[in-house]
Amino acid sequence: MPGLIGRKIGMTQIFDEDGIAVGVTVLEVGPCPVVQVKTADRDGYDAVQLGFGRTRDASVRKPAAGHAARAGLDYVPEVLAEFDAEGFAADGKELEAGQELTVDMFEVGSKVKISGATKGRGFQGVVKRHGFAGGRASHGGSSILRSPGSIGAGTNPSRVIKGVKMSGQMGNKRRTAMSRKIIRIDADKNLLMIRGSVPGARNNIVIVKAGR
């Protein structure tokens, strides 16, 4: 499935042809150089490795520099990601290392799916993490306002069952937003405007793929 790597800029609203305000997420997508084209004969599977962004020269490691140089790049991409080669082939694109892909491969009105890491919330209690109601506030219940309550059975089985909703790490998980419609494309600035929300905070790296 063809796609590109991008960065979430933030949310805003634009007006459509009917003058209706539409909430959109602005993504900076590409340009993405083709860093490597993997084949089944050489690598065991078919894939296209794309890059995005630019690593500071002071942070570049020699293996990464050599990998980028083999593709003819004079810089090291900040992010690398692999995509299914069949998707690009179905689009009629014969890709070569060093080639650059841009937002021109997408069309206004088409649907895409966008993957990224959600906002990290740190360690949270059950009220925020799972939406528990908490304990009662009357009759001396002030110490159990945000308590989870009972977490297991008694004598049998005498343990906490796996999967019980409890306090813990919240967020910072990979999620995919499906069937997001492209409202507008700014090819000069490499921007995609997607209707609705996209996982993650501002400046979060996202993967945009064609299809529902």
Assess whether 75 and 110 both reside in one domain: yes
Assess whether 64 and 97 both reside in one domain: yes
Report the number of distinct structural domains present in the chain: 2
What is the structure's pLDDT at 92?
Answer: 56
Give residue-wise pLDDT tens across range 146-160.
989 888 877 888 889
Given a contact cutoff of 8 angstroms between Cβ atoms, the answer to whether 207 and 3 are in contact is: yes
Give residue-wise pLDDT tens across range 159-199.
898 999 999 999 999 999 999 999 999 999 999 999 999 99
Assess whether 201 and 117 both reside in one domain: yes
> Residue 202, Cβ neighbours under 10 Å: how many?
11
> Is residue 179 within a helix (H) or strand (E), and if so which, with residue range?
strand 174-186
State the DSSP string of 103-159. GGGS-TT-EEEEEEEPPP-EEE-HHHHH------SSTTGGGGTT-----S-STTT-S
Q: Which of 14-18, 132-136, 140-144, 198-202 has the lowest mean pLDDT?
A: 140-144
- pLDDT higher than threshold 70 for residue 1: no
40 φ, ψ to 5°? -65, -35
What residue numbers bound the domain in which 135 lies?
123-170
Give residue-wise pLDDT tens across range 84-117.
888 776 555 678 888 899 999 899 989 999 999 9
Assess whether 43 and 86 both reside in one domain: yes
3-state DSSP assignment of residue 124: strand
Which single residue is written with the structure tokens 């590109």? 4
Assess whether 94 and 160 both reside in one domain: no
Assess whether 44 and 75 both reside in one domain: yes
What is the structure's pLDDT at 98?
Answer: 87
- pLDDT higher than threshold 60 for residue 26: yes
Percent helix / strand / coil, the chain, rounded to 5: 15, 40, 45
Instruction: Write down the mean pLDDT value for the chain.
Output: 90
Assess whether 37 and 100 both reside in one domain: yes
**pTM of the entire predicted model:** 0.84
Assess whether 195 and 147 both reside in one domain: no
User: Considering the chain, what percentage of its residues have pLDDT values greater than 70?
Assistant: 97
